[in-house]
Amino acid sequence: MRLRLQKYIAQSGICSRRAAEILIAQGKVLLNQSKVAQIGDSVDPNIDSVSVEGRTLRPRRKQYFLFHKPPRVLCSKKDPNNLTSLTHLLPPALQHVFYAGRLDFMSEGLLILTNDGAFSHQLTHPSFGIQKHYRVWLKSISNIESFLNTITNDGIVDGGELLKAQSARKISKVKGVDLLEIVLCEGKNREIRRMIQAYDGKVIRLKRITMGPFSLNDLKVGKWRSFNQKELNFVKHIADNGRI
């Protein structure tokens, strides 16, 4: 069975499918030790060899983990400014996995770690409609109901992008701080923070609590665990059906 080249690279565990497409476009992927790969190429894993920057790829066992990211941690593996990143928090056995659906430096909560590029794509691409639930503590928005109505109906245009929530509700207000639940189906950069900033609000804390069927539950901050059988069944279902 032939596979699209970017899917095969993602299955090897070195990067996501999107990152694989960039490597192909940059001319860093070689087929059968001679041909510079092009976008649109496909391979037969039983016949063809694929190398990236001189390294021959071998598909490895797929792995899946939940991680409770603390605030003030970068999702990237390296940082030139020596800020704390995932590399500092993950054990050697997890250094090869990558995140599916990043959280910014100050945000906390659920992060999916995997070496399965196809699953990462399915979990994060808007076409699959995976809901992500966030708890947001904020202040300085005088009319919170107007804000909630706007982000769930018309949305907010910022930098040429339409920012819009699937749903949003106010949970409570304590000492001038509103606690909201916001649900997104897309993963635009810093989307919730940008929506709040457009209303001159200030985010005190932002925490992702679920992604599709995956939930933090009682997972402690800075800790990780492997997927349970129910979660693995979801991975198989979405791989077999191409949708939820």
- What are the tens digits of pLDDT across the range 191-200? 999 999 999 9
- Start and end residues for every CATH 3.30.70.580 domain found in the chain: 64-127+213-241
Which tokens sit at 237?
């279902």
Ranges in the chain annotated CATH 3.30.2350.10: 131-211
Distances (CA, A) of 66 to 47, 71, 101, 114, 188: 35, 16, 12, 9, 21
What per-residue confidence (pLDDT) applies to 2?
A: 81
Q: How far is Cα 180 from Cα 30, in angstroms, rounded to an integer?
A: 49
Mean pLDDT score, 141-147:
95
Mean pLDDT of the 163-180 span:
96
Residue of 41, 48, 79, 104 with catalytic role: 104
178 is catalytic: no
How sure is the predictor about 1, in pLDDT bands with cuts at 50, 70 and 90? low
CATH number for region 131-211? 3.30.2350.10
Of 146, 122, 160, residue with least CA distance to 196? 146
Which of 101 and 201 is assigned the larger pLDDT? 201
Residue 204 is predicted with a pLDDT of 98
Lowest mean pLDDT among 1-15, 119-133, 165-179: 1-15
User: Looking at the predicted structure, is the pLDDT value of residue 18 above 80?
Assistant: yes
- Options 3.10.105.10, 3.10.290.10, 3.30.43.10, 3.40.50.970; CATH of 3-56: 3.10.290.10
Phi, psi of 169 (to 5 degrees): -150, 155
CATH 3.10.290.10 range(s) for the chain read 3-56
Q: What is the mean pLDDT of the chain?
A: 90
Residues 6 or more apart in contact with residue 204 via CB below 8 angstroms? 137, 138, 139, 177
Q: For the segment 208-233, what is each residue's pLDDT rounded down to a tens digit? A: 999 999 999 999 999 999 999 999 99
Q: Mean pLDDT throughout 44-57?
A: 85
194 vs 138: CA distance, rounded Å: 13
Q: What is the pLDDT of residue 155?
A: 96
The one-letter amino acid at 78: K
Torsion of CA 180, 181, 185, 187, to 10 degrees: 50
CATH of 64-127+213-241, one of 3.40.50.2300, 3.30.70.600, 3.30.70.580, 3.40.640.10: 3.30.70.580
What are the Cα distances from residue 2, in Å, to 21, 39, 143, 167? Answer: 17, 15, 55, 40
Average pLDDT over residues 17-43: 90
Question: pTM for this structure?
Answer: 0.79
Per-residue model confidence as pLDDT tens digits over 84-139: 998 889 888 787 788 998 999 999 999 999 988 888 888 988 888 899 999 999 99
Torsion angle defined by CA atoms of residues 211, 217, 221 and 227, in that order, rounded to the nearest 10 degrees? -60
- Neighbouring C-beta atoms of residue 178, cutoff 10 Å: 20
